[in-house]
Amino acid sequence: MKPVAIFRYFSIEGPGYLATFLDAHAIPWRLIRIDAGEVSPSDTSEFSGLVFMGGPMSVNDDLPWITPALALIRQAVANDVPVLGHCLGGQLMAKALGGAVSRSPVKEFGWGEVSVADNPIAREWFGDLSEFESFHWHGETFTLPVDALRLLSSRFCENQVFSLGKHLAMQCHVEMTEEMVKAWCEAGTGETTSGFWPPVQSAEAMQMGLTNRISALNEIARRLYTKWISGLAL
């Protein structure tokens, strides 16, 4: 089987639980460290799927790897190679497919409830779930590309997840591990101490009950990843 390509843009925003999941299902994967200067491939033919992770930058920044990433996403969709995006990765997907990415009126940092849309496609991805607690770390938001369907929303961000056939773009972070939450809290002190109110939690609040929260989120991620890998190209 061809490997899944996982694009990393920031050292502490790696694949997290996704790597554990792929290993458990004997699915090969290759980490492409854009943050370490690795060059993005220009062709999707050597991969069974593409995964784009998060990062503190904006897809609207003038960075040399953004245009190639957008082109690769468009190529993958055209060639029916499944694409999966987490936060920045979801924003890259939205922009590549004709949506817009802009500053969100409200930042979301920490744990927050999300609601599953009442439509058949959302049920395919989320089963009988109507809401759950996810992890958030974003200050921008995306609009939906043409033909994309909203699957998830939160009080502070209408477009949390969209699907387009076998492709899934997420604003929220379902890939989290306990270690990642702790690392982000340490690295993002300036973001989480800029004034607390419902969508911006303190580092202490984010780490309360962390083991149970991560375990529950892993179950959600497992459900989404299971459906996503069903479309991988052999």
Q: Which letter does DSSP use for residue 35 in this model? A: G
**Mean pLDDT in residue range 92-100:** 98
Say if residue 14's pLDDT is above 90.
Answer: yes
Residue 40, CA distances (Å) to 117, 145, 232 in order = 34, 24, 20
Q: Is 67 exposed, middle or buried (0-12, 13-18, 19+ CB in 10 A)?
A: exposed
User: What local confidence, expressed as pLDDT, does residue 103 receive?
Assistant: 94
User: What local confidence, expressed as pLDDT, does residue 143 receive?
Assistant: 98
**Mean pLDDT in residue range 121-129:** 97
Q: Which residue has the tokens 């921008």?
A: 140
Average pLDDT, the chain: 95
User: What local confidence, expressed as pLDDT, does residue 190 receive?
Assistant: 55
**Mean pLDDT in residue range 158-170:** 98
Q: What percent of the chain has pLDDT over 90?
A: 91
Q: Which pair of structure tokens corresponds to residue 137? A: 């770390």
Each residue of 48-60: pLDDT tens digit?
999 999 999 999 9
Q: Which pair of structure tokens corresponds to residue 123? A: 């049920």
Each residue of 19-35: pLDDT tens digit?
999 999 999 999 999 99
User: What local confidence, expressed as pLDDT, does residue 197 receive?
Assistant: 55
User: What local confidence, expressed as pLDDT, does residue 188 receive?
Assistant: 73
**Mean pLDDT in residue range 38-55:** 96
CA 183/CA 114 separation, integer angstroms: 23
Helix (H) or strand (E) segment spanning residue 70: helix 66-78
Say if residue 119's pLDDT is above 60.
Answer: yes
**Mean pLDDT in residue range 197-214:** 89
Say if residue 47's pLDDT is above 80.
Answer: yes
Where does the pLDDT of residue 233 fall: very low under 50, low under 70, confident under 90, or very high at 90 and above? Answer: confident
Q: How many CB atoms lie within 10 A of CB 80?
A: 12
Where does the pLDDT of residue 96 fall: very low under 50, low under 70, confident under 90, or very high at 90 and above? Answer: very high
In this structure, the strands spanning 83-86 and 131-142 are unpaired
User: What local confidence, expressed as pLDDT, does residue 189 receive?
Assistant: 57
Alpha-helical (H) ranges within 15-87 are 17-24, 66-78
CA 21/CA 6 separation, integer angstroms: 13
Where does the pLDDT of residue 79 fall: very low under 50, low under 70, confident under 90, or very high at 90 and above? Answer: very high
Say if residue 144's pLDDT is above 90.
Answer: yes
**Mean pLDDT in residue range 43-51:** 97
Q: Domains for the chain: give ranges and CATH numbers.
A: 4-229 (3.40.50.880)
Each residue of 176-205: pLDDT tens digit?
999 999 999 998 755 555 555 567 888 999
User: What local confidence, expressed as pLDDT, does residue 137 receive?
Assistant: 96
